[in-house]
Amino acid sequence: MWDHFGAAVHSLGASHLTDVVINRSKRMMLDTLGVGLLGTRTAVFNKALKYSQSFSSDERSSVWGASEISLPPHYAAFVNGIAVHSMDFDDTWHPATHPSGAVLPALLALAETLPSQPSGLDLLLAFNVGIEVQGRLMRFSTEAYNIPERFHPPSVVGVMGSAAASAKLLALSPAQCAHALAIAASSAGAPLANAATQTKPLHIGNAARRGLEAAQLARLGLEGNPAILDKNCGFGVYYKDYSPSVMPHSASGDFKWRLEKQDVAFKRIPAHLGMHWVVDAALAARAKLENTDGNFDLRKIRRVTLRVPPSKYVDCPSPTSEHQARHSFQFNCGSALLDNKVTVSSFDEDQINRPALKELLSKVEVETPEDNKPSFDKMYCEVKIETDQGQRYGARCDTFYGHWRKPLSQRDLVEKFSVNASSVLCTEGVEGVNDVIGNIEQ
C-alpha cells in the first residue's frame, strides 16, 4: 500500500490532468485564495502571525495579504492555512473534509524557496496530487462519508495531502514520497472537541505546515514505517472500519482522478457546511410567511422547528462567540429569519448579542428524524414557523446552491472571490490574481 502511494505520487505528470480536473482545481485555488485573504483580518490569524514572527530562517515565504511580512516557509504555510479556515468559509468535499486549505498554502510557501521557480502547470499538478491523496485516503472508511464525530478530517487527511503535494513539487523519488506520507501520518489527527473554537483553524494550518515539513524531512533521508497505510495501528487509528486499498499507478489504465468523479462544495456564507441547508430552508419559509402576512414580525412567532441530521458539534442553541455561531443550526436559522440573509457580518459580536436574535433563538426547537442522515451527500433541512395564531409555514432544502449537485456558477464564484479578496487587495490586485489562476496552466 505504502509503496503504491509513493510510486503513484511520483509517476503522475501534467499530461494526466484532464480538462475537468484542471477546471475544478482552478476554481478551488481561486476560492481558497479569496477566503484566505479575507481570513487575514481575523483575530485567530493575527494571534498566530504574532507567534510565528518570533521565528526566523534564511528561507522566507510570503504572508498572504501582507507584502511587508515574510516568515520561514513552514510558518508561512501555517498562518496562511489558518487564514483559509479562520471563518469556515473554505471548500468542502465528499467524503467530508476541507481539501484545499492544507495544500495550497504549503505549495505557495514552498514554491518561493525553490532554486528555480516552478511553472503554473507544476503547481497545478502538485495541488491535484495533494487533493487526490486525500480523496483516496477518505475512501478507506465508510465512517468518513458522514459528518465527523471524533476527528476533524482536515487534520487527518489534510496533512497527508500537504505532504504528497510538497513531495511532488520537490520531485522526490517514489521511496521518498512514501516516506513523506509515513512521516506526515505521525502529525495527523485533531479532536473534534475543538470545533467551534479559535483552535479549529489551527487544524488546517498545522496540516499545511506539518505536511511540508514531512516532505522536506523525507528529502533529507528521514524514513517512516513502510506499512503506515496498511495497519490499524497506523493510519487506521483514525477510523473504526479501516479498509485500505492501493492507489493505481498512472501508467495503468485504472487511474482516475477522484476530483473528476466528485466535485467540491463552495460556501456562500462563512459557516459550517451544514448551515447552508438551514439558511436556504429558513429563507424559503420566511418568504412564505411574508407572502401571506406581508412582513416578518418576531412578536407573532410562537415556535420555530428545525429538522436536521444528528450532529452534536453543530447543535449550539445559544452561541456566545463567532466560532460557536458558525457551528450553530439555531443561530444560522435565526439570523436568516430575522435579517432575510446571512453574511460575513452576521457573525460579528454585536450581531450575535442582539436581544431580538436571542429572543428568537429561545423559540427554536431541533428535531433529528431518523431518515435525515448525517452526510453532506444525503442530509436535508426543514424549517417550520408557527405563529401565535396557529398558522404554519414550512420549507425544506435538499440541495443548497453551491453544493456539488448544484454548483456555483463561474460568475458567482469569481464574485465571491472578488468581494473577499478586495477586503485586502486593491482592484488591480484582485483582477491580477483572478487572471493568474484562470490561466495558471499556461
Q: Is 343 helix (H, G, I), strand (E, B) or coil?
A: coil
- What percentage of the chain carries pLDDT values higher than 90? 85
Instruction: Please write the tens of the pLDDT for every residue from 80-125.
Output: 999 999 999 999 999 999 999 999 999 999 999 999 999 999 999 9
pLDDT value of position 145: 84
CA dihedral 289, 295, 296, 302 (to 10 degrees): -60
What pLDDT is recorded for position 206?
A: 98
Q: Where are the alpha helices (DSSP H) in 262-393?
A: 274-293, 322-325, 329-339, 349-352, 355-361
- Statement: residue 47 has pLDDT above 90: yes
**pLDDT > 70? residue 3:** no
Closest CA to 200 of 350, 302, 67, 314: 314
Residues, the chain = 442
CA–CA distance from 231 to each of 1, 179, 225, 226, 263 (Å)? Answer: 10, 15, 10, 10, 29
Q: Is the pLDDT of residue 430 over 90?
A: yes
Separation in Å, CA 122 to CA 111, 118, 161, 176, 369 = 10, 6, 16, 19, 47
**pLDDT tens digits, one per residue of 241-256:** 898 888 888 877 789 9
Neighbours of 231 (CB within 10 A): 15
Residue 295: the pLDDT is 79
Q: How many CA atoms lie within 13 A of 289 on its CB side?
A: 29
Mean pLDDT of 401-412: 98
Under the banding of pLDDT at 50, 70 and 90, the label for residue 285 is very high
CA angle 166, 169, 171 (to 5 degrees): 110
Q: What is the pLDDT of residue 336?
A: 97
What pLDDT, on a 0 to 100 scale, did the predictor assign at position 417?
Answer: 98
Q: What is the mean pLDDT of residues 291-297?
A: 81
| Contact present, 436 and 49 (Cβ < 8 Å) | no
Q: Which of 162, 126, 156, 288 is nearest to 229 (CA)?
A: 156
- Specify the pLDDT at position 296: 80
What domains does the chain contain, in order, with CATH numbers? Answer: 1-264+409-439 (1.10.4100.10), 273-397 (3.30.1330.120)
Cβ distance 187 to 159 under 8 Å? yes
**Among 153-167, 292-306, 428-442, which stretch is predicted with the lowest mean pLDDT?**
292-306
Range ranked top by mean pLDDT from 143-147, 224-228, 328-332: 328-332
Measured between alpha carbons, how far is 80 from 208 in angstroms, rounded to an integer? 9
Average pLDDT over residues 217-234: 92
First to last CA, the chain: 34
Query: Residue 197 pLDDT > 70, yes or no?
Result: yes
The pLDDT score that the predictor gives to residue 371 is 96
Residue 12: predicted pLDDT: 96
Return mean pLDDT, the chain: 94
Rounded to an integer, the average pLDDT of 368-392 is 95
Q: Which sign, positive or negative, has the C-alpha torsion 339, 342, 344, 346?
A: positive
Query: What pLDDT shows up at residue 1?
Result: 55
